Structure 1
Amino acid sequence: MSSTNFEDLSTSVIGGWHERLAGNTSARRNHWQTKEVYFRSVAGLLASRPGRALTWKCVVTAALPLGRRSTFYEVAGAHARHRMIDDLIADSRPDSVAIALLYLRTDAVEQLIDETKVWSYWPFRQQLLTSVRTEEMTDQQVEHALARSLTAWARCHAKLAAALDHSPPACAVEDLTLLRRGRLAATRAASHLSDVLRRELAEPAAEGPVRALASVSATGRLDV
């Protein structure tokens, strides 16, 4: 089953969005590089000043000398270019649209935090895909690996993971819905992964490996 799961995950909408933007090698018009300036700013602010609200001004200031109000609103807000949720909406499949609606924010900074979570989690997701591609895994084992990937990321980026009420990276929500092949609503997937993050971050670091397994049922499937 691993090959089927790998094909499902490797053709995700958010995966396509990431590949299209991050794979752009143009030095002159590279929107992803601009996004990364603000992703780093958001991640750094959340880590260094927990509990304090972020505003577009503090995000831009932390991004200096490259930060500018004009470029901030190119990557965040209702009129931003290449928004992740726009690709989900354009895909038009019910699960994609449902995920887009979950992450449709009226606040530009919150939208930026959502995309920052995806950017930050991406190396962990890539490692997950490598495991799915190279190891013989059942559907349940792949879901188990997804849970461990998410909690490993949360331990490395605890403040970012906890932001926006422990909202999970949108790509993890999409991955879980793809693994369930239409048998799990996006809202339930997002709610469950939020609970996984909440439980993981509530425990001492030494118990991390245990908490990564806590949301998996006796059959190995995520309990959602």
Structure 2
Amino acid sequence: MSHTMNEDLARATIAGWYLRLSGNPCAQRNHWQTRTMYYRAVAELLAARPDRPLTWKVIVGAARPRGSRSTFYEVAGQHARHGMLGELIADGSLRSYEIILRYGRPSPVEQLIDEAKVWSFWPHRQHFAERVAGPGAALDPVPAALSDALIAWARLNPALAAANAYRPPACAVEDLSLLHRGRLAATRAESRLTEVLRHAGRGLPTG
């Protein structure tokens, strides 16, 4: 295990966003609970009916204990509070802007799906971050530990993994770019991980 790499992953922008919101016991904690209510609704809707187009009204109707238009737009869309894209914009690094190029969609529903992927994948991400090997692993196009984590997640969540054209969890894209230490653009990392998910998705049921 590489101490330096683990430090890099711990300082990742998306990891910081996730941990700051999910671990805050104060007022923002309630905001995180609202977010997870909608993430869970998205995941459950896709699992039940992957062929059904998602709209904000459908998601609000499925959110429990109680969804509403106002809380939906607190967590999704251009004016969302504490959104993942806003965190990347605030970071201002080239890598963050490259991620925004792939994930900066105008649709609030697509943005919510992308964040739901990060939320759903997070336990696998943490396990991967603990398993990541030494410096040589960063030279692989996709380190085995990351590929294994993505495939395991996709098998458990095939419809969510396939949503948004198999776009991978954004945290995995950032991690792969970090592991390559500046030698792999985040846009290329996203393409590589999309192919991993597409390959894993062949033959898997989505509903």
TM-score normalized by the length of structure 2: 0.92
Please tell me the root mean square deviation across aligned C-alpha atoms, in Å: 1.8
Aligned partners of 1:5 and 1:143: how far apart in 2?
Answer: 13
Q: What is the CA distance between 1:28 and its match in structure 2? A: 7.9
Contact conserved, 1:86 with 1:100, CA < 8 A, in 2? no
Aligned partners of 2:181 and 2:46: how far apart in 1?
Answer: 34
In the other structure, the counterpart of 2:94 is 94
Q: What is the CA distance between 1:51 and its match in structure 2? A: 1.1
In the other structure, the counterpart of 1:168 is 168
Number of residue equivalences: 202
- Extract unaligned runs of 5+ from structure 1: 206-224
Contact conserved, 2:22 with 2:29, CA < 8 A, in 1? no
Q: What is the CA distance between 1:46 and its match in structure 2? A: 0.2
Amino acid across the alignment from 1:11: R
In the other structure, the counterpart of 2:48 is 48
Amino acid across the alignment from 2:136: D
Amino acid across the alignment from 1:175: D
SS of the residue aligned with 1:81?
A: coil
Q: What is the CA distance between 1:79 and its match in structure 2? A: 0.5
Q: What is the CA distance between 1:111 and its match in structure 2? A: 0.4
Q: What is the CA distance between 1:131 and its match in structure 2? A: 2.1
Q: What is the CA distance between 1:138 and its match in structure 2? A: 4.3
Give matches, 1:22-37, under 5 Å: 22-26=22-26, 30-37=30-37
Greater Rg, structure 1 or structure 2? Answer: 1
Cα deviations across residues 113-153 of structure 1 (Å, max 9, x unaligned)? 00000000000011112223xxx644317821011111111
In the other structure, the counterpart of 1:140 is 137
- Extract unaligned runs of 5+ from structure 2: none
- Aligned sequence identity (%): 57
Amino acid across the alignment from 1:160: L
Aligned partners of 2:74 and 2:204: how far apart in 1?
Answer: 39
Amino acid across the alignment from 1:48: A
SS of the residue aligned with 2:145?
A: helix
TM-score normalized by the length of structure 1: 0.85
Contact conserved, 1:139 with 1:179, CA < 8 A, in 2? no
